[in-house]
Chain A
Amino acid sequence: MRGRLSSVTLAGLLAAACVLPFVLPGYMVFQLTMVMSYALALLGLNLLTGFNGQISLGHGAFFALGAYVAAMLMELAGWPYWATLPVAALLGGLLGFLFGLPALKLDGVYLALATFALGVATPQLLKYKGLEAWTGGSQGLVLVKPEAPWGLPLDGDQWLYFFSLAVLLVLFAIARNLLRGAAGLKLLAVRDHPIAAQAMGVDNARVKTITFGISAAYTSVGGALSAVVVQFVAPDSFSVFLSISLLVGAVVGGLSSLSGALYGAFFIQFVPQFAEQVSKAAPWAVYGAILLALMLVWPTGAAGGVARLTAWLTTWATPRNTTRSKP
């Protein structure tokens, strides 16, 4: 995995991360917490798309699932926020696994198409009148901000920050162990050489559907966390633009690396704001333009960008000798 950091660097970053909530203003702490929920979501997407090669333009649906599960359990059943996370993971995993079954037959762009359809249909499904009593229909549900437990001297934002950080670290560790083990090798084998993998006794179908399930579970937890942090869920927050953002974040951050999930989460959270500052009228256009520029220069994402640069510099023939084409 590219981007593996030394233990010293990691410890240093962790220490810095723990200090931040005490030096930054509340809304920035909130934004960093959102970054963490996106990072979880992207972790899921990376597993599926980067490590297992299945493209998804519909992960917003799983994010929405997690968010709504958390919201409904908290609002309607009075569950504590932390208890909703495992449920979100379970339901997300189940749904992901189920979606993974027909997805087995789809490849590349066709899978992108099918998942795109899922992403587009999600808000409509959430607004469905038949489920209004539970989902709150178009209005959505409003949640209460949790407080720090055991009388700790932290405000809500800071507590949620540390809570999310803990969840993130645990789930990252699980993912890393998963990928380092035999399971991880199977994931990559199925992505790169499915026929050879099958010849070696790997059950491709099982690997792919289980990966879909795990991926959806992670994204679902990210969604649940985001609901707790934002304290609000409504169908229009989970439009296809969310699915698009997630894929964008995954690709920009660098797909086949766990740290890519973090880079991508920062991108998703902060670049749209930056774009808005550049152009109040057409922020998404600026966002799209940045995206395009990145893709044209770094088709393998930030984590792969350095690798590509090195390769270009070491290619024996200088660019002057590439072929000239008549237009």
Chain B
Amino acid sequence: MNAFLSQVMAGLATGGIYASLALALVMIYRSTHHVNFAQGEMAMFSTFIASLLVQAGWPYWAAFFATVAIAFVMGAAIEVSLIRRLRHAPVLAIVVVFVALLVILHSLAGWLFGYAIRSFPSPFGEAKVAGGLLSPHQLGAIGITLVMLALVYLFFRYSPLGLQMRATAENPVSSQLVGVRVSRMLALGWGLAGAIGAVAGMMIAPVVFLDVHMMSGVLLYAFAAAVLGGVSSAPGAVAGGFIVGVLENLLGTYVVGAELKLSVALVLIIIVLVARPTGLFGKATVVRV
């Protein structure tokens, strides 16, 4: 029983990480209706920047917040320089551009930072907590994920800017017709997603070690999480993340073996998209014909 419980807890811990990257995916989806295939690489790139700052002697939290700010600017810059021009392009061209972005960031990171694996510090110390089932970092990572979730949820639900972003994603023309500066909304959405992704990366790196391939698998689980929870629902994505984390761990340990874990994500994505495309918590928009 104890082994099972510790598997579940470990699953929750990794789930928290999937949840935070899923949150970034949802942010972009909610503000632009795009699925950002390059989200993982953006997060990885930001984490490398944090690593550089830490190595240069910056205290952890200074590096943390500086990285978040830089990631915000990077995300917004990508939207302004690239994504914006695709407003009227066919879906395929958009997908290809995202994929190109993935490839560019991956390769740039390798070139700038090298392919060696490096360690990344955790701010949460080494003390034993939660009856020894979770490390302080795991607990801290889950906590930060939940805080980000709360902020995102409140932002979209209650703030005027969040409302404008939701409206812009749904109907950019109508948003223009009420005076919304649509370009700013899009840049903002991407900036926020970049920032969230950076936090996710900095939470993962201490666990799996920082290298260029850090996010490839994680991205898939994050997709599975976002899809499971409902691609337009922030709480859904987070719940999805935890579920995927636990499922991945349990199935990986007891059913299919560690090597096929990614296939679990694959099958999950397909099943959810086919059986319940809006996910567990997503809202289907009813349109009266």
Which A residues are within 8 Å of any B CB, using their own CB?
Answer: 49, 55, 57, 102, 105-106, 108-110, 112-114, 116-118, 120-121, 124-125, 127-129, 240-241, 244, 247-248, 251, 255, 279, 281-285, 287-289, 291-292, 295-296, 299-300, 325-327
Q: How far is B34's CA from A76's CA once the two chains are assembled, in angstroms?
A: 46
Tell which of B97, B108, B223 touches A116, judged by Cβ atoms closer than 8 Å: B223
Q: Does B111 interact with chain A (Cβ within 8 Å)? A: yes
Closest partner residue, chain B, to A325 (CB atom): B183
Contact yes or no, A288 B263, CB < 8 A? no
The 0/1 profile, CB within 8 Å of A marked 1, for residues 250-267 of chain B is 000000010111110110
Residues of chain B within 8 A (CB-CB) of A244 are 99, 102-103
Contact yes or no, B277 A113, CB < 8 A? no
Secondary structure of the A side of the interface? helix
Contact yes or no, A121 B108, CB < 8 A? no
Closest Cβ–Cβ distance, residue B2 to chain A (whole Å): 28
**How many residues from B make CB contacts under 8 Å with A?**
48
Q: How far is B92's CA from A248's CA once the two chains are assembled, in angstroms?
A: 10
Known: A285-B103, A291-B97. 9 other contacts (CB 8 A): A55-B92, A113-B227, A120-B216, A120-B217, A281-B111, A282-B111, A292-B104, A296-B85, A327-B183
Please give me the 6 A-B residue pairs with the lowest Cβ-Cβ distance, nearest first: A288-B104, A284-B107, A282-B111, A285-B107, A299-B93, A288-B103
List 18 contacting pairs A-B, 8 Å CB cutoff, sorted by A. A102-B270, A102-B273, A113-B35, A116-B223, A118-B266, A121-B266, A129-B257, A244-B99, A251-B93, A279-B111, A282-B111, A283-B107, A287-B107, A288-B100, A291-B96, A295-B96, A299-B89, A325-B183
Contacts A55-B95, A102-B270, A117-B224 hold; do A291 and B100 have CB atoms under 8 A apart?
yes
Closest Cβ–Cβ distance, residue A59 to chain B (whole Å): 13
Closest Cβ–Cβ distance, residue B189 to chain A (whole Å): 16
Contact yes or no, A284 B103, CB < 8 A? yes
Tell which of B34, B90, B257 touches A299, judged by Cβ atoms closer than 8 Å: B90
Closest partner residue, chain B, to A120 (CB atom): B220
Residues of chain B within 8 A (CB-CB) of A251 are 92-93, 96
Within 8 A of A (CB), among B187-201: none
Q: How far is B101's CA from A284's CA once the two chains are assembled, in angstroms?
A: 10
Contact yes or no, A128 B91, CB < 8 A? no
Contact yes or no, A124 B260, CB < 8 A? yes
Contacts A282-B111, A292-B100 hold; do A128 and B224 have CB atoms under 8 A apart?
no
